[in-house]
Structure 1
């Protein structure tokens, strides 16, 4: 019996196109003032790879620094990857069922 959850050809491209259209759609004014102590004290969110590649945002300096550091990091050995995988409890929080 075929799996009905498998995406059809072009579904991913349509998904990315929908995300790109959402990013270009202006957000309506909610009437909530953006200035004030909460807005001033809020730490800006970390930029994600999705925001850069899919939404077309210009990468921030912090994003580029982290990206370069990750690219220059030494590769993990198979043993280290196995150790990390076995020690990660996963979504269910149970270390007896590693990811």
Structure 2
């Protein structure tokens, strides 16, 4: 069993209100949950207009599959949304 944790901090360039921020964050979380079957949540910076801190967890019986899911998520976030990633931490827990 392989468990991967991804923590990502980023700035959202098109967020001029909390509603704009929530739209972007919700889109990222929904994509991760529905398409990649990843557990996802906003974990801090809830009331900051243009900054988000998200956490994602995936579990698999294959190390390659679990890592690929995390990498696919990062690539999707970087290529689709108008953001700048400040920090990302990938950790294999098991």
> Does TM, normalized by the shorter one, top 0.5?
no
TM-score (norm 1): 0.24
Which has the larger share of helix?
A: 1
Determine which structure has greater relative contact order: mean sequence separation of CA pairs < 8 Å that are 6+ residues apart, divided by chain length: 2
- Greater radius of gyration (CA): 1
Which has the larger share of strand?
A: 2
